[in-house]
Every structure is written in C-alpha cells, then in structure tokens.
Structure 1
C-alpha cells in the first residue's frame, strides 16, 4: 500500500473547524475514558448494529464517544458518516489504514487527529447533536495490515516484534485518546486481524456479540481460547484486562433454539472456570433496530430513531456496561 493519496497538506494540522478533532491527548479535564472492543470471529452477528446503537446511547447519556473502525468493510463508518463524507475522507487519506501505512510502512510521522471526524452522527438528543466522533476505515485496511506484515518481516522483524510494534502504536496513539473521550469503541473485523487482536488485548472491556444459535456460538470457545486461553502465556505482557462479556443479539424469545442456547450460555458463564461472562441485556431481533442504521432525509432524534428500545434495551445496556467498567 503506497499511501500516495496521502500528501503533506493533510499533515499540517490545519483542520476544518467543527469537523475534525484538534484536541491533544491529556488536555481534557475528564476522567480517564474506557476502551471497549466489540468483536467476534464470525461475521453477521449484529456487531456493527451494536456499535452504532451503543455509541449513540452512550452519547445520549452525556458521554463523549469515539468510534474506531477496524473492519475493512467499513460498515460502521458508512452508517455513521454516510457514503459522501466517508468517500471524501478516504480520498483525502483521513482513514485508519492511511495512518498505519504512513507510520509503520513508510516510517513517516503522521498526525492521528486529522483523521478523526467530530460530530459525525446526525442523530440529535435534547436539541443537540450527539457528541460522537469517528476514525473511519477504508477498503484497503486489510491490504495495509498484510503489507505491514510483509514489510516488517522483510526488515527482519519477528512476529513477536511486529506485535510489539502494533502494541506500542496502540499504547502511544490510541490509549491517550481516553483523556479526550469517555468511551472509545473499536468495531473489530470478523476473525482476528492484527489490529483487531491488539485492540482486544488492550481494551478495558471486550464485548462478543452473538446470535443465540448453534452456528453463531460455535466459534466462541475458539475465540476465547485464542485470546484468553493458551495465548495468554505466549502474550503475557498483552494479556486482556478481564474476561470477555458475551452480548446476545438478534434474540427471538419465541424461538426455542434461542432459549436453549441462552440457558447453555448462562450455565457456562456461571461455571467456576468460565471463559466468559454473559450480559443480562439482550438485543432483540427487530426491524426498527435494522432500520436505525439506514440513512434518513431528515436527521432523527435519538428517541425517535430507537423508540421503545431506548428504555427496554439501550438504557439497561448502558447501565450494565457502566457497572462493569466503573463499578457503579
């Protein structure tokens, strides 16, 4: 990945006021924010829907939220920014993969802030736009991650050293953003890509979204074992901070398989040697939630967008996450 679309004029720090973040980590007076990775080895399990809903629910609750897109499909980026704005950001190199290419492949010193789009959500709450920002992904993220491995291997880096490079980047560039934002949500790619693994290992909380059926939960054990099991010994310095928490999505109460799967997950999560915890909040299968991701001609209000799901799903979910992360 050459990063030729990335030019010096985008590195000057002269950002468009009101559109891109200009704050510096450490200048805010807020308490340290929390990093949350939303992940699953399997795709199609409501991950992006969960990230959008959770980001807007946290922002409606008064938090300042940043969404970091680690999925080359860029689903959460297009849901939040829309096709026009996302296309503009990709063209100007204001994406995660452009940043990674410049920093780790071309050994330049790019600035992360110009790639964060502020006030990206059109949803309003209390007559104000939600305080929601986005660091988008573009279609070449997976290619950049692959080229990164090739490039550093060619420089005689071991895989352990490459992981160390990514870990250092995460600690130096992403963790300090917690001084600006109350919550940083990482929408991880299906499977375990290099950046996904680093985000999962570095997050304060990992949410594993899963439909309560056989196929969706089949890879759960493998995912847990890869990151929290034997992998912990190999990556002792990168060990996750806590066990992952499974969030049931697209739940249909009248489907027997869903009921049986949840009972099994509850039993496994309650075991003494459990590899995961289970959230009590369930994201139902609902057309209204799917429609919430669709673009609208008129900017919606938060309550108008999610309707009864605000009180039935989103408020309980935010409360549960706060209890896990803050103990209150």
Structure 2
C-alpha cells in the first residue's frame, strides 16, 4: 500500500529553508523565481504577518512547487546511463545520495533501477523494499547467475523506480566470488541481459574496495563520488581514483569519474566552505553546482521506508536532491560526447588528482 507523503514541519527545518545560503551552499535559491517585497510607510510594526509566511505554510508551499517541478520532466539519455555511487569511506551519504537521486530522476519521468550492493541493505530499506533472507536478491544474480529481472521489485511510492535488493547473504559474496569464472564482470553481464528499458541504473556500493565494488566499476560507465563537507573529506579518495584507473586500464575502458557531489553541507560553518573550495580545486568541473545540506528530514525518511522526496518534498534536502538530479540529467547530454573525445586526456587528469591526494 502506497504511503502518504509526510509533510509535517518543524521550526528547525523551516528556519534552515529560510536561510538560502545555508541549505545548499552554491544553490542560492531553493525555488528559483522572482521575489517581490513591498514595504508601506504606513504599516505598523504590530501588523501581523501574512498567513503564508508561517513556517508550516511556507514549507507546504515549497512542497507543492517541488512536486510540480518534478512533473516537468527532464531530457532522457539516448542510452542507459549506469552510474556507480562509490566511496570507501563510510558515512559520506552514498546510500542517501543513491536513493534520493534515483527518486528525483524517476519523479522527473525517467525509468530508474537502483542496485543495492551493500550487504547492510540500507538502500532497499530506504526504498521500502522487503529484503529479508528469503527474498530473491542481487546475491542470487552475482553468485548463482539468476536473471536480474527475477529479483527486481518496483518501488511502491515512486512510479518508474525499481530496486534490486540486497540481503544479508551478500556479506559472504566477496569470498564466494573469488572462485567463480569472470568474477569481476558478473554484474555487467546481468545488466546487459536485462530486457526492460531503463534510463538510469544507480549502483549503491559498500564502503570498501572489494569484489562487489569492482563488479560495480566494471558494470558502470560513470562514477559518482559523494564527499562530505567535513574534516578529512578527501582522505582515502586517492586510492579510489587509483582503483578507477586500474579498472579502466584492464577491464572497462569507458569508466570515468563524471560527478562529485558535496554532502552534509552546513553554510554556517567556515569548515564546510573550506572543504567545498578544496574539493572544487581538486575536481573542477566534475563537482556539481548543487550541494546537499545537513537535514533532519533526510535522516528521518529511511525510518519510514521512504526517500526524502516522498517523505517531505518541501524540505531543504528534497529540494537539493531535485536540483542535483536536474543538473546530472542536463549534464548527461554532453557526458558521453566528452568521454569519447577526451579519452586520452582523461586518464592523465584523473591520475594527477590521485597523486595530488596521496
């Protein structure tokens, strides 16, 4: 049974919504559009504010606008974009980013598949997908060569969004894959044999660089790296980039880092701004203009089996993910073109980034 959209509002969230510079860093206005303010000379200081300026009404208004914008649609890619969401550091927002970007793209009219490669199954939980031990899962696809179509489930709250869940069995897959033939490319073969049309495949990787992550890197063409705006944000990314280069060189020549997303941004702190500046200095144009703020709503949504887009579409987190998805979709028009024409230059650029973070 589909869940109703949760639209309760708290003062804390509403205050963060009114502080545009704080909610998403470079995204200066959560809902673009002209703002008209008139101040009359005869207005008393005791004049009560309009009803639509109350925190609850303000949040509800943003929610309506967000859902309205979701219906506008975005350009669909010419071919399926397989994006690997990876970072071996835990707690940087990989799963949160995967499910909310997937929901945003689906709400914009795309067909999106989320593949949960993390044995914890958090992406499956956030999408409201049952993933107990007896459920057919991505483990069966990787280890037993089960067709992907037999494990994919539709997400109840979002039309056009699907999920291949993870179960606890996936925890032993790293060891079981070692002895299997073509162990690094089993996920790639499963995706290629999936017959249903898809615009995006988003793969949520575990916080490690083992065989599960390698399978994802072989299957995908693009790597999306979430980076939290906190101390030591870039620590360990050099190893991830070196692994991307190894996979590119030996297993998947099309692989490249296409997107960097800043998460947990708090515009009230100088540290967040410094980290954002450092990340943009390292990665340049790969960094999305939109960043994701710290948000109570983003943290609460998984406990209801929902993404923040359906839990509270007017929250700062939902608006930011809407904008990030829009930016990714619009960038996609030129991503494949650049990958083809810069194939020789890209390895050198990313190798320089890896050496700079050693």
TM-score, L = length of structure 2: 0.65
Alignment of 1:121-140 (within 5 A): 121-122=156-157, 129-140=158-169
- Is 1:99 the counterpart of 2:138? The answer is no
Does the aligned pair in 2 maintain the 1:41–1:191 contact within 8 Å?
yes
In the alignment, structure 1 residue 55 sits paired with structure 2 residue 102: yes
> Given that residues 97 and 137 in structure 1 are in contact (C-alpha distance below 8 angstroms), is that contact kept between their aligned partners in structure 2?
yes
Could you say if the C-alpha distance between residues 302 and 262 of structure 1 is closer, same or farther in structure 2, counting changes exceeding 3 Å? Answer: closer
Contact 2:218 2:247 in 1 (8 A): no
Could you list the per-position Cα deviations for residues 203-237 of structure 1 after superposition, in whole angstroms to 9, with x for gaps in the alignment?
A: 23211111122323211122112222xx257x334
Decide whether the 8 Å contact of 2:293 with 2:317 is kept in 1: no
- Specify the alignment match of 2:288 in structure 1: 279
- Unaligned residue ranges in structure 2 (runs of 5+): 1-76, 336-358
Report the alpha carbon displacement of residue 319 of structure 1 after superposing the two structures with TM. Answer: 2.0
| Superposition misfits of 4+ residues, deviation over 4 angstroms | 299-304
Does residue 271 of structure 2 align to residue 257 of structure 1? Answer: yes
The Cα of 1:188 is off from its aligned counterpart by: 0.6
Q: CA deviation at 1:111?
A: 2.8
Matching residue of 2:131? 86
Structure 1 residue 263, shift from structure 2 partner: 1.0
Which residues in structure 2 correspond to 1:265-304 (within 5 Å)?
A: 265-270=279-284, 277-295=286-304, 302=309
Q: Contact 1:209–1:246 at 8 Å: present in 2 too?
A: yes
Q: Aligned equivalents of 1:300 and 1:165: distance in 2?
A: 32
Q: CA RMSD in A?
A: 2.6
- 1:58-94 deviations in Å (ceiling 9; x for gaps): 1110111111000001100111135xx322xx314x1
- Secondary structure of 1:279's match? coil
Q: Residue 280 of structure 1: SS of its match in structure 2? A: coil
Instruction: Count residues with an aligned counterpart.
Output: 259
Structure 1 residues 200 and 100: alpha-carbon distance in aligned structure 2, compared to 1, 3 A threshold: closer
Deviation (angstroms), 1:31: 4.7
SS in 2 for 1:247: strand
Gaps of 5+ in 1: 1-29, 104-109, 123-128, 153-161, 271-275
**Contact between 1:32 and 1:178, CA under 8 Å: does it hold in 2?**
no
Q: Tell me, yes or no, if the aligned pair for 1:33 and 1:179 is still in contact at 8 Å.
A: no
